[in-house]
Homo-oligomer: A and B are copies of this chain.
Amino acid sequence: MDKKHPRVIDCTIRDGGLMNKWQFDLETVRRVYRANIRAGVDIMEIGYRVSPKLFGRDDFGPWRFCAEEDILSVTGGDKPQLQLAVMADIGRCYQEDFIPKTDSVVDIYRLAFYAHQIDETIRMSAYLNGLGYKTFFNIMAVSTNPLDMVINCLKRIEEETDAVGVYLADTFGSFIPSRVSELIAFYQSHCPSKAIGFHGHNNTQMALANSLAAVEMGIEYVDASYYGMGRGAGNTPIELLLPALGGNKYDIAPIIEVIQKDFEPMSRIYKWGYHIPYAITGICNQHPKSAIELMQSEQRGCYKEFYQRTSVGV
């Protein structure tokens, strides 16, 4: 896999924040930032941009909002030594929440949206491009949409936007490599001028294998996180992805060190990773929401009943 090197986006703080309400210690975020630089990671996604008018700062940590001064407290005053991305949740932020690129250390906004929000997302992308940022379109829950709705989205992104790329996400963690290859080819055919990215989920332990299948298809961006931290079963573990990409571009030693100090201890509290309820929703091609609710309830060990409920009609 040495020749086709996609750029790796570390989304630990953004996606992992779904498990701890973005309440990471500042020192943890700094350690991830510095380790990414030393490891050779291409891009770090440091959090979400949602409007503080819609969500309380008392309920959530700073990486749900990504105020410029919070980002600067991580990067210091200097120009960041890797590209910084922030995910903007369409419908949960306004144009007033963004400052011009010349005043910001952020390079990329990734726009997370459902297919029915395509108009609003195209407008936001144009606005952010006008401010000087690169943008990506991250369509969520794509497998629940009718095919013509997805095609319409992809065509409009191709024809009406200056976005850098479009992401395929395995929202339910139900893909296998052959399906990923088909879907990447589908995205490539409808968005020939855009870079394609892939975000895997690990419900059935296929996030890495699916990511490598997408890389074989020639995608240009791929997501991963420290120790796989992310909602539910989590994401592609970056410590496995970087060596699997081959070559000498990356060094996982700094990442291993931060996993030891921060993420392995956190995993014992927040319990992302392989658990039977997440596997069940993946096997049954359903949103992991019900599994996450189960894991947070006193019925977390009742796998049998959960499987019976979830597999009805599958």
Contact = CB atoms under 8 A, between A and B. Distances in A.
A208 B206 contact: yes
A148 to B, nearest CB: 27
A303 B35 CA distance: 15
Nearest to A280: B256
11 contacts: A204-B208, A204-B244, A205-B208, A205-B209, A237-B279, A239-B276, A243-B283, A256-B307, A260-B303, A260-B304, A273-B274
Interface residues of A, number: 36
A127 to B, nearest CB: 39
Copies of this protein chain in the complex = 2
Nearest to A283: B243
A122 interface: no
Interface string A251-267: 01100110110001000
A176 interface: yes
A202 B273 CA distance: 14
Given A253-B308, A257-B304, A239 B205 contact: no
Contacts of A303: 256-257, 259-260, 264
A46 interface: no
Contacts of A204: 208, 240, 244
Given A260-B303, A260-B304, 16 more contacts: A176-B212, A202-B205, A204-B208, A208-B209, A209-B209, A243-B283, A253-B304, A253-B307, A256-B276, A256-B280, A257-B303, A259-B276, A260-B276, A260-B301, A273-B274, A274-B274
Contacts of A253: 304, 307-308, 311
